[in-house]
């Protein structure tokens, strides 16, 4: 095993491949979106597909466009690589799992050219006008300000396809499966017949793409140096084999997996160390192949590679040699990609956890760690059978799903609970937006003369707005479904072929919704401060508090200091933590009463990226002592800067949250400055602390190792700090590459 005291060095083919990738490596944002292909060649495969097939359905035309977008792209072969296949050309129009066909000119919608109008209608049956129309139906003119309360309709929609199915059936077996279910579907069921036709076109095109690369390898072999010529012919044979047959060795399995990952937008590759391990022999060549696959993910930007955890069948430890090798490879790369998550359980090998901590001590923010105990138990409470729950994976910015069996709607929407508390204080109006009536008029702050009346008004506001918000979130599902946003994914997601339905039409086995939840710490701290100082101890009157909030505490510093002195969530105070837990439990229970258009109930999550900053920007002063405009937390942890009692107490507070209701993925930013992890003993303490957090109720931990002093220095002299990596909230980024407001928020996490 490649433990912490050993390194996997890039030598021979790995070193040569690494050096070649460096010459074409794109910026972080390009890799994050997988926009890493060759230059735009001026071709329009999607337009051509719809123009040339006027009598075909939209889904079939889209399938033709997808296939041609790959077959008509430049072939890139890098000398010395084990695995062929490169990303397609970067054209303005493409399909994406977040929406469908993107880049269709909006002006075609009302064009004077009838052909353009018809193309727009066929290529984009629904757009975000659909959501906006519903918003005005539900809220009237208030909908103009709803973006200050929430975001609805979805953007990403990450999922992990079934790489197990792909490697077991191969392309040929998958086409045979499609043909079988097509054959038993009545001719009159045009919707299903078109779905099967589209899936068949995609998979046959996928096969043809491998053959195209095989031809290119054979052609290149004619003029290559003898050693590389031999390898090119070997790759050609490999590519022709997997163009139909299931793989038999790691070279074939890795090639098939990598090719499909590209067609899947290199989205999230799931439990990488599990589905490839049956092909592992432990040879030096196998080590080189795994490292090359991780380098390909590094170049093209997968959102998540997952290692560790337990085996689905019996719950025993699932880590293996590939788990160690993944960590060692990203250790050498020392970058913000690929994003790696590490599942931890009671019997996780100590040396594997030690290796993860060693990466942090060297300045990295990966891997994220996830609790098998919390996640598996939480999924089972939502009705997921234990074997599937044990097989969960992370994806996107630390969302959670069952690989190849689920479509949890990652990022169906997000909500700012603190903004809802604020409008509750003000008759349902947003005073920061010209008094726009966003919610119910249940009175003003001075009308709530008991804590119970305040709580009842806040929860009534939540319940009223939740119904509207989730209705709008379902509009996003309608859009994805109408546009067949996940056609490529549907081919490799279990039950879609059997049911003849795409993923957003309820094709998958598990179809829960997911709402990213912000502001719970601010709401909990505000309610707790009011309970103590206004209702219990009567040190502040409602009138004084109301005036102080509306003045942003100008002239009311004494009141602000009293509010700040009340214990806050994130410091281990049991009563303060209980209030934030009460806030989350109420909201996550409330959304669980509603069903996603895909078919499952809505679940909670908290992985807001930079959302806590924008949420705070739209929020006035609050009774926790927070000034207007200050950021909220970006994760399940406390509001930025409000935890002042050390990391152990902060983790204790987070472990008290109802995280089993937040199985959409609820990360926690954890600060471990690298200078505190420079000895074997200190790293062992960090490993012990993280494992304890995972076992006592925590769900996800995201690590930042940069010190406050380093970040301040990087702001002053960015040219000297190019390798300083921080965790933003769901993803890592080099500190000097993020905006000043986000830099300031991260620094503020360290306190004053």
Give the torsion sign (CA, 139, 141, 143, 146).
Answer: negative
The alpha carbon dihedral of 563, 569, 572, 574 has a sign of positive
d(CA 12, CA 601): 51
C-alpha distances out from residue 444 to 440, 448, 560, 619, Å: 11, 7, 20, 17
Which residue has better confidence, 200 or 409?
200
pLDDT (0 to 100) of residue 674: 84
What tokens appear for 673 in the block? Answer: 């400055």
* Whether the Cβ atoms of residue 664 and residue 603 lie closer than 8 Å to each other: yes
pLDDT given at position 720: 64
Decide if 542 is inside a domain. Answer: yes
Greater model confidence, 748 or 306: 306
- Can you give the pLDDT at residue 610? 74
Element (H, E) at 725: strand 725-727
**729 pLDDT more than 70:** no
Q: Is 112 helix (H, G, I), strand (E, B) or coil?
A: coil
For the stretch 125-162, pLDDT in tens is 999 999 999 999 999 999 999 999 999 987 778 999 99
Mean pLDDT of 369-378: 97
How far apart are alpha carbons 215 and 446 in whole angstroms?
77
Task: Tell me phi and psi for residue 676, to 5 degrees.
Answer: -90, 5
Residue 424 sits in which domain range?
A: 145-155+399-666
- Read off the pLDDT of residues 276-301 as tens digits, 9 standing for 90 and up: 999 999 999 999 999 999 999 999 98
Mean pLDDT of 613-622: 93
The pLDDT score that the predictor gives to residue 723 is 64
For the CA atoms of 419, 422, 427, 430, the dihedral, rounded to the nearest 10 degrees, stands at -60
Question: In this structure, is residue 677 part of a structural domain?
Answer: no
Q: Is 157 helix (H, G, I), strand (E, B) or coil?
A: coil
pLDDT digits (tens, 9 = 90+) for 400-424: 999 999 999 777 999 999 999 999 9
Give the separation between CA 392 and CA 531, rounded to whole angstroms.
40
Cis before residue 367, ω within 30 degrees of 0?
yes
User: Is the pLDDT reported for residue 732 higher than 70?
Assistant: no
DSSP 8-state class, residue 546 = H
Q: What is the dihedral of CA 504, 506, 511, 515, to 10 degrees?
A: 40
Residue 634 is classified by DSSP as S
Tens-place pLDDT, residues 675-719 = 888 899 999 999 999 999 999 999 999 988 877 787 788 788 886
426 DSSP assignment: B
pTM over 0.75: yes
Task: Identify whether 237 is part of a domain.
Answer: no
Residue 43 has pLDDT above 90, yes or no: yes
What pLDDT was estimated at residue 640?
Answer: 81
Residue 491 included in any domain: yes
Tell me what percent of the residues of the chain surpass a pLDDT of 70. Answer: 97
**What's the pLDDT tens digit per position in 304-349?**
999 999 999 999 999 999 999 999 999 999 998 889 999 999 999 9
User: For the chain, how many residues are written?
Assistant: 752
Q: What six digits make up the tokens of 434?
A: 């010209």
Q: Residue 444 domain-assigned?
A: yes
Domain of residue 461, CATH code: 3.20.70.20
Gap between the Cα atoms of 286 and 315, Å rounded: 27
Which pLDDT score, from 0 to 100, does residue 751 have? 63
pLDDT at 596 over 70: yes
Nearest to 742 by CA among 701, 702, 711, 705: 711
User: Is the confidence at residue 69, as pLDDT, over 90?
Assistant: yes
State residue 181's pLDDT score.
98
Alpha-carbon span 503 to 490, nearest angstrom: 6
Task: Please state whether beta strands 268-271 and 429-430 pair in parallel, antiparallel, or not at all (unpaired).
Answer: unpaired
285 found inside a domain: no
Q: For residue 749, report the phi and psi dihedrals to the nearest 5 degrees.
A: -60, -25
CA distances from 620 to 396, 420, 557, 625 (A): 31, 11, 16, 11
**Rg for the chain, CA atoms, rounded:** 26
Quote the pLDDT of residue 623: 98
Q: Give yes or no for a contact between 138 and 468, defined as CB atoms under 8 angstroms apart.
A: yes
Q: Tell which wins on pLDDT, 154 or 627.
A: 627
**Residue 69, class by beta-carbon neighbours within 10 Å (0-12 exposed, 13-18 middle, 19+ buried)?**
buried
Residue 106 has pLDDT above 70, yes or no: yes
Task: Provide the pLDDT confidence category of residue 514 given band limits of 50, 70 and 90.
Answer: very high
**Local confidence band at 3 (pLDDT 50, 70, 90 cut-offs):** confident
* Main-chain dihedrals φ then ψ at residue 154, nearest 5 degrees: 85, 150
Q: For residue 196, what are the CA distances in angstroms to 7, 60, 71?
A: 48, 9, 21
> How many folded domains does the chain comprise?
1
pLDDT-derived band at 607, boundaries 50, 70, 90: confident
Q: Which stretches of 426-541 are DSSP H helices?
A: 451-482, 487-491, 496-499, 520-530
Mean pLDDT of the chain: 94
pLDDT attached to residue 752: 60
Can you give the pLDDT at residue 715? 86
Query: Is the model's pLDDT at 560 over the cut of 80?
Result: yes
Q: How far is CA 599 from CA 240, 487, 507, 736, in A?
A: 40, 18, 9, 43
In-domain check, residue 494: yes
Owner of token pair 């599902």: 477
Euclidean distance between CA atoms 626 and 611, whole angstroms: 17
Contact assessment for residue 418 and residue 518, using Cβ atoms and an 8 Å cutoff: yes
Beta partners for 538? none
Q: Tell me phi and psi for residue 591, to 5 degrees.
A: -70, -25
Of 743 and 405, the one with more pLDDT: 405
In a domain, 455, yes or no: yes
Residue 147, exposed/middle/buried by CB under 10 A (0-12, 13-18, 19+)?
middle
Residue identified by tokens 């086409």 is 175
pLDDT, tens only, 461-498: 999 999 999 999 999 999 999 999 999 999 999 999 99
* Least confident range of 223-237, 535-549, 566-580, 628-642: 628-642
Please say if the pLDDT value at position 397 is more than 90: no
Spatial separation of the C-alpha atoms in residues 338 and 4, rounded to whole Å: 19
**Percent above pLDDT 90 for the chain:** 83
Say whether pLDDT at 721 is over 80.
Answer: no
pLDDT exceeds cutoff 80 at 451 = yes
Expressed in angstroms, the distance from the first to the final Cα of the chain is 43
């Amino acid at each position: 095993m490649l433990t912490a005291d050993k390194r996997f060095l890039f030598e021979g083919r790995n070193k040569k491949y690494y050096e070649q990738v460096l010459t074409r490596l794109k910026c972080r944002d390009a890799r994050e979106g997988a926009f890493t292909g060759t230059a735009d060649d001026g071709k329009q495969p999607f337009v051509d597909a719809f123009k040339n097939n006027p009598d075909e359905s939209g889904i079939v035309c889209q399938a033709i466009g997808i296939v041609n977008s790959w077959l008509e792209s430049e072939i890139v072969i890098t000398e010395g690589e084990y695995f062929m296949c490169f990303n397609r050309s970067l054209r303005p129009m493409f399909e994406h799992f977040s929406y469908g066909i993107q880049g269709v000119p909006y002006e075609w919608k009302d064009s004077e050219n009838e052909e353009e109008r018809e193309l727009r209608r066929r290529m984009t049956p629904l757009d975000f006008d659909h959501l906006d129309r519903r918003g005005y139906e539900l809220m009237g003119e208030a909908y103009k300000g709803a973006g200050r309360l929430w975001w609805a309709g979805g953007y990403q929609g990450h999922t992990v396809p079934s790489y197990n199915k792909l490697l077991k059936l191969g392309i040929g077996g998958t086409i045979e499966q499609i043909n079988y279910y097509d054959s038993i579907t009545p001719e009159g069921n045009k919707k299903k017949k078109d779905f099967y036709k589209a899936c068949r076109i995609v998979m046959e095109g996928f096969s043809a793409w491998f053959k195209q690369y095989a031809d290119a390898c054979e052609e290149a072999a004619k003029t290559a140096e003898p050693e590389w010529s031999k390898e090119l012919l070997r790759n050609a044979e490999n590519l022709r084999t997997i163009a139909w047959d299931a793989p038999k060795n790691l070279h074939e399995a890795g090639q098939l997996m990598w090719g499909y990952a590209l067609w899947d937008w290199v989205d999230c590759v799931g439990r990488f160390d599990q589905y490839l391990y049956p092909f592992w022999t432990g040879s030096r060549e196998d080590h080189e192949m795994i490292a090359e696959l991780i380098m390909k993910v590094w170049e093209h930007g997968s959102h998540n590679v997952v290692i560790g955890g337990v085996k689905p069948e019996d719950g025993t430890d699932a880590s293996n040699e590939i788990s160690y090798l993944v960590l060692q490879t990203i250790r050498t790369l020392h970058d913000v990609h690929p994003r790696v998550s590490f599942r931890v359980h009671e019997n996780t090998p100590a040396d594997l956890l030690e290796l993860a901590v060693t990466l942090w001590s060297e300045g990295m923010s990966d891997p994220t760690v996830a609790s098998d105990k919390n996640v598996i138990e939480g999924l089972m409470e939502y009705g997921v059978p234990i074997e599937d729950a044990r097989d969960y994976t992370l994806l996107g910015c630390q969302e959670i799903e069952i690989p190849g069996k689920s479509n949890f709607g990652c990022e169906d929407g997000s909500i700012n609970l603190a903004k809802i508390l604020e409008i509750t204080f003000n008759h349902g109006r947003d005073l920061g937006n010209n008094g726009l009536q966003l919610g119910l008029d249940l009175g003003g702050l001075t009308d709530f003369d008991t804590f119970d009346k305040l709580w009842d008004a806040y929860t009534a506001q939540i319940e009223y707005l939740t119904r509207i918000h989730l209705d709008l979130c379902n509009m996003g599902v309608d859009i994805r479904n109408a546009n067949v946003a996940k056609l490529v994914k549907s081919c490799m997601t279990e039950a879609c072929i059997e049911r003849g339905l795409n993923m957003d039409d309820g094709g998958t086995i598990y179809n829960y919704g997911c709402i990213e939840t912000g502001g719970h710490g601010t709401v909990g701290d505000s309610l707790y401060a009011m309970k103590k100082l206004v209702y219990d101890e009567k040190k502040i009157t409602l009138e004084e508090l109301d005036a102080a909030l509306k003045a942003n505490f100008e002239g009311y510093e004494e009141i602000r200091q009293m509010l700040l002195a009340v214990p806050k969530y994130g410091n281990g105070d049991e009563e303060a933590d209980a209030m934030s837990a009460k806030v989350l439990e109420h909201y996550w229970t409330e959304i669980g009463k509603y069903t996603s258009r895909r078919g499952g109930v809505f679940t909670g999550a908290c992985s807001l990226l930079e959302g806590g900053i924008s949420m705070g920007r739209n929020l006035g002063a609050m009774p926790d002592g927070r000034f207007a405009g200050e950021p909220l937390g970006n994760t399940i942890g406390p509001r930025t800067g409000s935890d002042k009692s050390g990391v152990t107490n902060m983790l204790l507070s987070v472990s008290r949250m109802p995280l089993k209701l937040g199985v959409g993925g609820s990360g926690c930013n954890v600060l471990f400055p690298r200078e505190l992890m420079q000895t074997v003993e200190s790293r062992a303490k960090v490993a012990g602390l993280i494992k304890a957090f995972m076992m006592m109720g925590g769900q996800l931990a995201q690590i930042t190792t940069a010190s406050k002093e380093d970040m301040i220095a990087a702001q002053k002299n960015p040219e000297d700090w190019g390798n300083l990596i921080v965790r933003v909230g769901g993803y890592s980024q080099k500190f000097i590459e993020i905006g000043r407001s986000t830099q300031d928020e991260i620094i503020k996490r360290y306190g004053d």
